[in-house]
Amino acid sequence: MGFVDAPAGQYVERTAPKSRTDVFFKYLNIFLLWFFAIVMILPFLWLVSSSLKTQNAIFQYPPDFIPNPMVPENYINALTYKPFGQYFANTLFVAGMNVIAVVLSASFCAYGFARIRFPGRDFWFGIVMATLFLPYAILLVPSFIIFTRLGWIDTFLPLVVPQFFGGGAFNIFLMRQFFRTIPEEIADAARIDGCSELGVYWRIMLPLSKPALITIGIFTFLFAWNDLIGPLTYLRSPENFTIAVGLASFRSQTDISWDLQLAASAAVTVPVIILFFFAQRYFIQGVVMTGLKG
């Protein structure tokens, strides 16, 4: 009841005495935080640990948690077993093109949905949201046939070109939400100075939306980096493989042992985790910021 004694107009922090249950829940919270942190991280540690073991040590029960002896050569053997350098370059190309396509295309469409009033806008935005709920597994077979007709099989085109057309419903939605938080007065000021609508989009809105653009850029990069079903369906010759397909074909050759499989998996995961650590404040803040409510 600290409010009663407070001088008028001044906010006083409530200093309710901490009850025993409050203290209990505080420590329970911290305990659970640590417990689940360990649960989440343990598989990674196990992956790294196993990938550094010899063939013999890996099939040993009970297992050693610290490999003895350590064999970092597993990584060299795994990454030279297949042309992972080539896969890496291919994946980087596809993912990079995807990021460019999505950042440009999704923000462009989102600007129309967020800032221009015209008949049919809400109808088309409804279609955007409908495609959000339409998984692309459904369209896998017919898309394959269309890309066959276009002669695009075994090229990167099916993995890149569609992204230039809207950049995906989720990204349009995210950008639209973000654009709506930017005050219209800024755009009006530019218009009075003679700026065209395209200019408002390019010179005012895009620079102000960097956090949101970075968010969708990272999402897109990760998706392209991790995607298997697309490259697996459309790419044929090994020199075109992305990392995901390369790793999958690595696994399907059953003569390759666990130590190499795990070393390759760890090696493929590392770049993603590094990217994530650099960008994590955008990642988590981006979703919080754009307000994914309703």
Partner 1 sequence: MTVQRQQTFLESTPFFRWYNGLPLKRRRTILGYMFIMPFILGFLFWFLIPALVAANLTLQKWNLITPARYVGFENFETLVSDPILGQSLKATFLFSAISVPLGLVFAFFLASLINSKVRGIAIFRTIYFLPSIVPAVANAILWAWLFNTEFGLINFFIRALGGPKIAWLQDPDWVLFAFVILTIWGVGNSMIIFLAGLQGIPEIYYEAAEIDGAGRWAKLWYVTLPVMSPVIFFNLVIGFINSFQIFVSALLITNGGPQNSTLFLVLYIYRTAFQSGKMGYAAVLSWLLFFILMGMSLLVFRYIGSRVYYENPGD
Per CB under 8 A, which of residues 207..236 are in contact with partner 1?
Answer: 222, 225-229, 233
In the complex, minimum distance from the CB of residue 72 to partner 1, in angstroms, rounded to a whole number: 18
In the complex, minimum distance from the CB of residue 184 to partner 1, in angstroms, rounded to a whole number: 14
Under rule CB under 8 A, residue 205 binds partner 1:
no
Under rule CB under 8 A, residue 61 binds partner 1:
yes
166: left (phi over 0), alpha (psi -120 to 50) or beta: left
Q: Which of 93, 73, 71 is nearest to 81 (CA)?
A: 73
Among 64, 76, 126, 258, binds partner 1 (CB under 8 A): 258
Residue list 22-51, contact with partner 1 (CB under 8 A): 25, 29-30, 32-33, 36-37, 40-44, 46-47, 50
Q: Which two tokens stand for residue 181?
A: 């938080």
In the complex, minimum distance from the CB of residue 273 to partner 1, in angstroms, rounded to a whole number: 7
Candidate ranges 92-100, 181-189, 202-210, 276-284; the one touching partner 1 (CB under 8 A): 276-284
Under rule CB under 8 A, residue 154 binds partner 1:
no
Check: CB of residue 89 under 8 Å from CB of residue 225: no
Under rule CB under 8 A, residue 156 binds partner 1:
no
Residue list 85-114, contact with partner 1 (CB under 8 A): 105, 108-109, 111-113
Q: How big is the CA angle at 279 (ends 108 and 32), to the nearest 5 degrees?
A: 125
In the complex, minimum distance from the CB of residue 159 to partner 1, in angstroms, rounded to a whole number: 12
| Closer by beta carbon to partner 1, 26 or else 210 | 26
Candidate ranges 5-13, 58-66, 80-88, 202-210; the one touching partner 1 (CB under 8 A): 58-66
